[in-house]
Amino acid sequence: MTMLTPGISPQETAGPTTTQGGPSLPQEIRLVTEVPGPRSKELAARRSSAVSAAVGSSMPFFAHAAGGGVVVDVDGNSFADLGSGIAVTTVGNSAPAVVEAVTEQAARFTHTCFMITPYDSYVELAERLAELTPGDFAKKSAFFTSGAEAVENAVKIARAHTGRQAVVVFDHAYHGRTNLTMAMTAKNMPYKNGFGPFAPEVYRAPLSYPFRDGLDGPTAAARAIAVMEKQVGAANLAAIVVEPVQGEGGFIVPAPGFLPAIAAWARENGVVFVADEVQTGVARTGAWFASALEGVEPDLVTIAKGVAGGLPLSAVTGRAEIVDAPVTGGLGGTYGGNPLATAAALAVLRTVEDEGLLERARRIEELLFRRLRALAERDPRVGDVRGRGAMVAVELVKPGTTEPDAALAKKVATEAAQRGVIVLTCGTDGNVLRFLPPLSIGDALLEQAFDVLDGVFAAG
């Protein structure tokens, strides 16, 4: 039984009556208590004595149900969700097809370990991802559980294939929190601070960052290639790993031509070109994979987050001869491609097609750009509006400069939560507000959420 917080009457802690999430939840912002409400406060108190202080949460309330475009908290408040659990619930939270597929699979078997007794959904998912990732060539996949694990395995595969060791990543990159991926991630605080030593043979090249460097794509690529040639040497380089639109680093869209030039140099030099599409992949940007928007066909693609609607699944998909390079048994893991997750992923891919969600992501891009460009016109603290599909951000600066304003980003996100909107920050400087709504969100709720944000900006 739930303990009541002293001084709070049972009526005040009545909380939500919802027993189900999914798209049938009322699609509106509706606050019935202060934020956080009494039940969230009570859970926060228990959390602070039981959960590591090293694990943070950006929202002050606890979730009870979610679906469509809302998250309902334990006090019955309904928030517009502009975060999708960091780009995961792309097809919607508790999407009906996902719930059905996982329920059916859970009732049949929950686990055998693909390395012991294989099952068909693993094979079918590999076939589907081979079709959906860019490039008309033979492809194969291996499945894991987290995005970081997919990136680690892409590097293992590239090293096995090339017999080389070095890995090149970019400024502002985010690739994960495991030892190798911490080395690949750019930002120290909070991801790396005090956690070294890091894995060796990871080199960092300059990215294309149009708002800050003003370079066109080919010029920015030449600058990065010079670093690779002079500081690493193509003969030592196993892989280049790059996010087609940088996620945690600030939703940075490289200038046109940057990614194709890097990919072409990789091909000429026998270097494996890896697109880390953990955040951009699976319809988020209005294409199945963001590399396609630049006409790039990566040798390997890392996939996670949106692919399985919240079930832990990640993949490396790419050129068959490269993915086959490690020795048999060289790739795997107890839970990699768990049957609940592969069933969920097949349902996610079907839902994207059945509900026309690539097109929906492009419509969301139009709405987001319209609202945010109007805001930028009025408010000189909005320095840049950028992104692709339902992956859009504003970079906040001191008016008239490019000096980052992280305090403003934090203030807006905090104030928006008080008013019923979940919005996340990102960026090496912490000055970027990012918008990642589920593609199941409706226009009316999106407009309502941006009315709230306009109000927050107008208030100072």
Cβ 38 to ligand PLZ, closest distance in Å?
Answer: 29
> Rounded to an integer, what distance in angstroms lies between the CA atom of residue 113 and that of residue 338?
7
Cβ 67 to ligand PLZ, closest distance in Å?
Answer: 22
Q: With left for phi above 0 and alpha for psi between -120 and 50, is residue 94 left, alpha or beta?
A: left
Tell which one of 66, 99, 148, 266 touches ligand PLZ (CB under 6 A).
148
How many amino acids of this chain bind ligand PLZ (CB under 6 A)?
Answer: 16
Residue number closest to ligand PLZ, CB atom: 147
Q: Which is nearer to ligand PLZ, 134 or 176 (CB)?
A: 176
Q: Which is nearer to ligand PLZ, 276 or 365 (CB)?
A: 276
Determine if 152 is a binding residue for ligand PLZ (CB under 6 A): no
**DSSP 3-state assignment of 426?**
strand
Cβ 120 to ligand PLZ, closest distance in Å?
Answer: 25
Asked if 140 and 227 count as a contact pair (C-beta separation under 8 A), the reply is no
Determine if 304 is a binding residue for ligand PLZ (CB under 6 A): yes
Q: Which is nearer to ligand PLZ, 122 or 170 (CB)?
A: 170
Asked if 449 and 421 count as a contact pair (C-beta separation under 8 A), the reply is yes
Q: List binders of ligand PLZ among 68-87 (CB under 6 A).
A: 86
In the numeric block, the tokens 């893991």 are attached to 333
How many CB atoms are located within 10 Å of the residue 45 CB? 12
Report how far apart, in Å, the C-alpha atoms of 234 and of each of 92, 164, 244, 269, 300 are: 43, 9, 21, 6, 18
Tell which one of 132, 151, 368, 439 touches ligand PLZ (CB under 6 A).
151
Single out the segment in contact with ligand PLZ by CB under 6 A; choices: 14-22, 230-238, 242-250, 332-340.
242-250
Q: Which is nearer to ligand PLZ, 38 or 147 (CB)?
A: 147
Tell which one of 133, 146, 425, 428 touches ligand PLZ (CB under 6 A).
146
Determine if 154 is a binding residue for ligand PLZ (CB under 6 A): no
Determine if 141 is a binding residue for ligand PLZ (CB under 6 A): no
**DSSP 3-state assignment of 361?**
helix
> Rounded to an integer, what distance in angstroms lies between the CA atom of residue 29 and that of residue 10?
24
**241: nearest Cα among 193, 212, 199, 211:** 199
Tell which one of 248, 294, 384, 415 touches ligand PLZ (CB under 6 A).
248
Single out the segment in contact with ligand PLZ by CB under 6 A; choices: 23-31, 169-177, 347-355, 428-436.
169-177
Q: Which is nearer to ligand PLZ, 21 or 85 (CB)?
A: 85
Two tokens at 426? 């990102």
Q: Which is nearer to ligand PLZ, 79 or 174 (CB)?
A: 174
Tell which one of 38, 67, 247, 310 touches ligand PLZ (CB under 6 A).
247
**DSSP 3-state assignment of 173?**
coil
- DSSP 8-state assignment for residue 206: P
- DSSP 8-state assignment for residue 118: -
Two tokens at 349? 């891919």
What percent helix, strand, coil does the chain show, rounded to 5? 40, 15, 45
Phi, psi torsion values for 209, nearest 5 degrees = -140, 80
Determine if 147 is a binding residue for ligand PLZ (CB under 6 A): yes
Q: Which is nearer to ligand PLZ, 344 or 445 (CB)?
A: 344
- DSSP 8-state assignment for residue 10: G
Single out the segment in contact with ligand PLZ by CB under 6 A; choices: 175-183, 214-222, 227-235, 449-457.
175-183
**242: nearest Cα among 284, 292, 300:** 300
Single out the segment in contact with ligand PLZ by CB under 6 A; choices: 122-130, 142-150, 286-294, 448-456.
142-150
Cβ 244 to ligand PLZ, closest distance in Å?
Answer: 9
Q: List binders of ligand PLZ among 272-291 (CB under 6 A).
A: 276, 278-279
Cβ 313 to ligand PLZ, closest distance in Å?
Answer: 10
> Rounded to an integer, what distance in angstroms lies between the CA atom of residue 429 and that of residue 451?
26
Cβ 15 to ligand PLZ, closest distance in Å?
Answer: 29
> Rounded to an integer, what distance in angstroms lies between the CA atom of residue 70 and that of residue 73?
10
Tell which one of 175, 187, 388, 419 touches ligand PLZ (CB under 6 A).
175
Q: Which is nearer to ligand PLZ, 33 or 84 (CB)?
A: 84
Q: What is the DSSP string of 220-277?
A: HHHHHHHHIIIII-GGGEEEEEE-SS-STTT---PPTTHHHHHHHHHHHTT-EEEEE-
> Rounded to an integer, what distance in angstroms lies between the CA atom of residue 126 and that of residue 342?
10
Cβ 65 to ligand PLZ, closest distance in Å?
Answer: 23
Give the type of residue at 244.
P
Single out the segment in contact with ligand PLZ by CB under 6 A; choices: 20-28, 93-101, 243-251, 334-342.
243-251
Binding residues for ligand PLZ (CB under 6 A): 86, 146-148, 151, 174-177, 243, 247-248, 276, 278-279, 304
